[in-house]
Amino acid sequence: MSSKFGLAGGIPERRVRPIWDAIDSRQFKNALKLVSSLLSKYPKSPYALALKALIHERMGKTDEALSVCLDAKELLYKDDLALMDDLTLSTLQIVLQRLDHLDLATSCYAHACGKFPNNLELMMGLFNCYVREYSFVKQQQTAIKMYKLAGEERFLLWAVCSIQLQVLCDKSGEKLLLLAEGLLKKHIASHSMHEPEALMVYISLLEQESKYNDALEVLSGDLGSLLMIEVDKLRIQGRLLARANDYSAAVDVYKKILELSPDDWECFLHYLGCLLEDDSIWKYFDNIDQIHPTKHIECKFSHLTEEMFDSRISSASDLVQKLLRDNENSNLRGPYLAELEIEKRKFLFGKKNENKLLESLLQYFLKFGHLACYASDVEAYLQVLSPKKKAEFVGMLVKNSDSFSESATKVLGQTTTILKVQELTGNIFELPVDEIEASAVKLAKLYCQNLSLSKDLDPQESMFGEELLSLISNMLVQLFWRTRDFGYLAEAIMVLELGLTIRGHVWQYKILLLHIYSYVGALPLAFERYKALDVKNILTETVSHHILRQMLESPMWVDLSNLLKDYLKFMDDHLRESADLTFLAYRHRNYSKVIEFVLFKQRLQHSNQYQAARVEAAVLQLKQNADSVEEEERILENLKSGVQLVELSNEIGSKTLRFNEDMQTRPWWTPCPEKNYLLGPFEEISYGSNENVKEDREENMKRAIQRKSLLPRMIYLSIQSTSTALKESVETNGSGSDVKIGGELKCLLEEYTKMLGCSLSDAVEMITEISQGARTSESLGSNLVDWLNFAVFWNAWSLSSHEHWHVLNSLFERLILDRVRSMGSSDMSSCYSDVQVLVQIVTEPLAWHSLIIQACTRSSLPSGKKKKKNQHSDQLSSSPMSQAIKDSIQSLCSTIQEVSSWLLNQLNHPEDEQVERFLSTLKRDEDAAGGPGQILGVLESFIASSEESEVGNRIFQALKSWNTADTTRKTVMAQQRVLREFLQICESKRKLLETLKQQMSHV
């Protein structure tokens, strides 16, 4: 517009350019100077004001920025002739968006559009505003106006997308889709259609309405030529035919695709699905939630007679045989796997072909068994086998692999594959301990023998046999689980650390180490390994679960705080910028991406991990400052007294949380963060996924987040209630506000216990019985800390009851001292899970309770500078509540002292002694037949005898730098650091309580 004439926002371009240059080079002071002189010449220019606002915002002066924006807005509204160009408005929008005042930007654009109803550029700006606000209805209305004005296809498509989004996200009536369809039809009739993306939207719209035949007609008509990649077109056609239940036609289409690309696995599955008239594969098509690998493909056969099944399967076999013949020399896995799929379907249909299935699996092994993907390729087929057949199959593999030995890499690959199959089938859990040991020793030898293969590899490249070390460590962890001999775990650490010394890029080693270190309490090392994974951007959403939980339950607050900050920053940034990218997709006419982006943003917004992290970040701040009630009040003020988080809790209750974490990368012993097999006794496990378990887990996560988000508010209310509770205990009549506080706290307690799965009165009964020893703490299950939190706030709600104080004191004593006693003199490696629970008790419920006592003490002390005791506090000193507080301080003091003593005792062992003890678990008795240390023995003797000429300089140097004792020392030091940090927290709590004790003695 105006800029065409060398004007920017009505100001000559040459005057504006230096300002932008200064902004771009971050010389904000200079920019401000320039803009001030500009404003002296053009005092009424909204554009100059917008620039000034922008500079203020960049300088971090948000209040000034907003006020200048408002001035600019006023000018725009007041002056009819003011230049309402897009440049001014979009500059304002940038600032307002950053100030979180999108609504103001929208109203400026809306006002401008009202004044200049035929200005397309302004309307696009307004449309953009609605995209940012996710107001799909208004988007639609604006787009329609633009379409009417300019008649362009793209604006119509913007409107159609906005309609689809209303139906998908706002659950608006599907009648709207009819409207969209009508608009498109009318447009096509008069103008045809010109963009492939527009056609895709049209088809998706018809599909959304289940009008598959209409969609097919469109696709096969003239418009179909818009899709230039033949296979893409056929895929859509096949899908539409299948969804329209025209299976025979769909089969032909899929056959065509397979002839064009015989390796297209998904297409083969669709082909087979259509051939067997099985629609279950389409069940997930509209389910956008499908991000996790599908291991089970459901099959439906009941509608087929045996004869029909046989004839169809035989035609599938014919096709596969043809594909195999046509691609004989190409080494494609697809057609071979297709044979397996056919055998599997036969088996599921009830044919007694288990042996044939085994035979096909073996053939596939002979052809592709050396590839790293064999095991994951056949996972779905192994799962349908009976345990007996699984074992038989492993036997077949072992027998047949020996006969194959043409190349070392092939043998290596096959051996690795067999082990992976043993893991997948659960076969490895059935083997006797000595067999597993022998097998691990064999693998270690194989690893050593084959190191020379990697001699000339670039250090960037994966080495041969790399996976063997992961497999060995998996076996060692299992041996530990079975025997409880710590040596195996120590050995697993050594094997993996050695692997990293040889090649530091193997992320699988890092993840395994991270979990072993977490288990033995060497959390700083676990965190180090996590950091070495270089988890950033979207990976923070999918990978943080490896470390987050352990960190939340640890005293490593600084690292935890950074972890949460980085993650939340990533998520918040994305949620903020996503709309801009959506608009980019609109502008580039990639309409399918518009819908994808909006749904993806919602998916991240509803991520369970994101919601949990928001709450945990707040709780962490409260934990870190719990030693000072004033500091805590400041934090609470920033948290809006916890109200926002209570709202979050309610909100979460009403929506579905999303689980975006990639659990596939977790080790076998901890398939999800809440589960760790090593904490319980040995049992045989299988890897089958269980839908119910998943659902339960999701429900539990939701409740846990909901519970935790109530904490800040309960802390706030508890502190508030103390200021009046003391008075009350003296004067016995509460004021109106106290009643309100008490009422709200009670509601939250009810809410909280509901999410623990019981009523308030049942919860009170539970904790009372445990405090009296009538029940054991096991009845609290894994939510022990939550129960204690409940007890703390329940006491805060009824501070005047001496009995409640007593229950709480005994509860703390019992739960803490039981643990300290059971840990006894065992070392950190074997009792870290107890330490984790203690850390949580001390840093949460105990911290909150101390905080409440602080608040009580503060209100009972003479206020201000008046040192003289007043009559009020005289009364207090003799009040029953004051006595209750004193008793509680005394009780907490001695309880925490016990924890400190235990920690000191651990820390007092000299480091060398601990290193020695750790190493001794790896030492083998020469005469003993088995036990830990054998594998390390193999590896160390290889290191001692290896030669540079054999393994190459790089590997040789790495091997020579290996030192078992160094790795041990690092582990021990990491364990000690955790203990020291915890001791520091305990000591600060103890000191706080001592101070309170003194203060109370003056009351």
Partner 1 sequence: MTTIRRFSCNDLLRFTSVNLDHLTETFNMSFYMTYLARWPDYFHVAEGPGNRVMGYIMGKVEGQGESWHGHVTAVTVSPEYRRQQLAKKLMNLLEDISDKIDKAYFVDLFVRASNTPAIKMYEKLGYIIYRRVLRYYSGEEDGLDMRKALSRDVEKKSVIPLKRPITPDELEYD
* Residue ranges in contact with partner 1 by CB under 8 A: 228-229, 263-268, 288, 290-295, 331-334, 337, 371-373, 376-377, 379-380, 458, 460-462, 505, 507, 533-534, 536-539, 541-543, 570, 573-574, 577-578, 580-582, 584-585, 588, 590, 592-593, 596-597, 599-600, 603, 660, 662, 664-665
Of 259 and 306, which CB lies nearer to partner 1 in the complex structure?
259
Minimum distance between the CB of residue 290 and partner 1, rounded to whole angstroms? 8
- Tell me the three state secondary structure of residue 776: coil
Identify whether the C-beta of residue 209 lies closer than 8 Å to the C-beta of residue 181.
yes
Minimum distance between the CB of residue 801 and partner 1, rounded to whole angstroms? 50
Of 151 and 293, which CB lies nearer to partner 1 in the complex structure?
293
Of 461 and 695, which CB lies nearer to partner 1 in the complex structure?
461
Of 81 and 229, which CB lies nearer to partner 1 in the complex structure?
229
Q: Which two tokens stand for residue 837?
A: 């629970």
Identify whether the C-beta of residue 632 lies closer than 8 Å to the C-beta of residue 719.
yes
CA distance 914 to 569: 40
Q: Which two tokens stand for residue 895?
A: 């309880």
Q: Residues 314, 320, 323, CA angle at the centre, nearest 5°? A: 145
Minimum distance between the CB of residue 728 and partner 1, rounded to whole angstroms? 53
Taking CA atoms, 197 is separated from 233, 268, 524, 994, in Å, by 13, 26, 50, 71
Q: Which two tokens stand for residue 253?
A: 């289409």
Minimum distance between the CB of residue 508 and partner 1, rounded to whole angstroms? 8
Which among 906, 894, 901 is positioned nearest to 979, based on CA atoms?
906
Close Cβ partners of 641 (under 8 Å, ≥ 6 residues apart): 712, 713, 716
Ordered DSSP codes for 374-437? HHHHHHHHHTTS-HHHHHHHHHHHHHHHHT--S-HHHHHHHHHHHHHHHHHHTGGGTS-HHHHH
Q: Where are the alpha helices (DSSP H) in 484-607?
A: 486-502, 507-519, 523-532, 538-543, 548-552, 557-587, 591-605
Q: Which two tokens stand for residue 85?
A: 């160009």
Which among 981, 665, 990, 667 is positioned nearest to 836, based on CA atoms?
981
Of 203 and 767, which CB lies nearer to partner 1 in the complex structure?
203
Of 607 and 649, which CB lies nearer to partner 1 in the complex structure?
607
Of 317 and 890, which CB lies nearer to partner 1 in the complex structure?
317
Minimum distance between the CB of residue 378 and partner 1, rounded to whole angstroms? 8
Identify whether the C-beta of residue 340 lies closer than 8 Å to the C-beta of residue 381.
yes
Of 542 and 833, which CB lies nearer to partner 1 in the complex structure?
542
Minimum distance between the CB of residue 543 and partner 1, rounded to whole angstroms? 6
Identify whether the C-beta of residue 35 lies closer than 8 Å to the C-beta of residue 52.
yes
Minimum distance between the CB of residue 760 and partner 1, rounded to whole angstroms? 40
Minimum distance between the CB of residue 294 and partner 1, rounded to whole angstroms? 5
Site of tokens 């008790």: 841
Of 549 and 886, which CB lies nearer to partner 1 in the complex structure?
549
Identify whether the C-beta of residue 770 lies closer than 8 Å to the C-beta of residue 811.
yes
Q: Where are the alpha helices (DSSP H) in 734-879?
A: 736-754, 760-772, 784-797, 802-823, 828-843, 845-860, 871-877
Output DSSP code: residue 27: -
Identify whether the C-beta of residue 644 lies closer than 8 Å to the C-beta of residue 526.
no
Of 289 and 818, which CB lies nearer to partner 1 in the complex structure?
289
Identify whether the C-beta of residue 357 lies closer than 8 Å to the C-beta of residue 393.
no
- Tell me the three state secondary structure of residue 658: strand
Output DSSP code: residue 673: T
Q: Which two tokens stand for residue 476?
A: 């060692």
Which among 162, 226, 143, 125 is positioned nearest to 591, based on CA atoms?
162
Minimum distance between the CB of residue 414 and partner 1, rounded to whole angstroms? 15
Minimum distance between the CB of residue 354 and partner 1, rounded to whole angstroms? 21
Identify whether the C-beta of residue 882 lies closer than 8 Å to the C-beta of residue 725.
no
Minimum distance between the CB of residue 462 and partner 1, rounded to whole angstroms? 5
Minimum distance between the CB of residue 417 and partner 1, rounded to whole angstroms? 11
Minimum distance between the CB of residue 571 and partner 1, rounded to whole angstroms? 10
CA distance 846 to 815: 11
Minimum distance between the CB of residue 381 and partner 1, rounded to whole angstroms? 10
Minimum distance between the CB of residue 154 and partner 1, rounded to whole angstroms? 14
CA distance 619 to 557: 11
Of 573 and 966, which CB lies nearer to partner 1 in the complex structure?
573
Of 278 and 827, which CB lies nearer to partner 1 in the complex structure?
278
Which among 746, 758, 722 is positioned nearest to 848, based on CA atoms?
722
Minimum distance between the CB of residue 366 and partner 1, rounded to whole angstroms? 17
Close Cβ partners of 941 (under 8 Å, ≥ 6 residues apart): none
Identify whether the C-beta of residue 385 lies closer than 8 Å to the C-beta of residue 357.
yes
Of 337 and 856, which CB lies nearer to partner 1 in the complex structure?
337
Minimum distance between the CB of residue 507 and partner 1, rounded to whole angstroms? 4
Taking CA atoms, 52 is separated from 23, 45, 95, 170, 909, in Å, by 10, 11, 10, 38, 64
The kind and range of the H/E element at 11 are strand 11-12
Interstrand relation of 11-12 and 7-8 (parallel, antiparallel or unpaired): antiparallel
Of 291 and 308, which CB lies nearer to partner 1 in the complex structure?
291
Amino acid occupying residue 655: K
Of 333 and 356, which CB lies nearer to partner 1 in the complex structure?
333
Of 506 and 899, which CB lies nearer to partner 1 in the complex structure?
506
Of 368 and 716, which CB lies nearer to partner 1 in the complex structure?
368
**Please, is 888 exposed, middle or buried when counting C-beta atoms within 10 Å of its C-beta (0-12, 13-18, 19+)?**
buried
CA distance 520 to 303: 55
Of 598 and 807, which CB lies nearer to partner 1 in the complex structure?
598
Minimum distance between the CB of residue 499 and partner 1, rounded to whole angstroms? 14
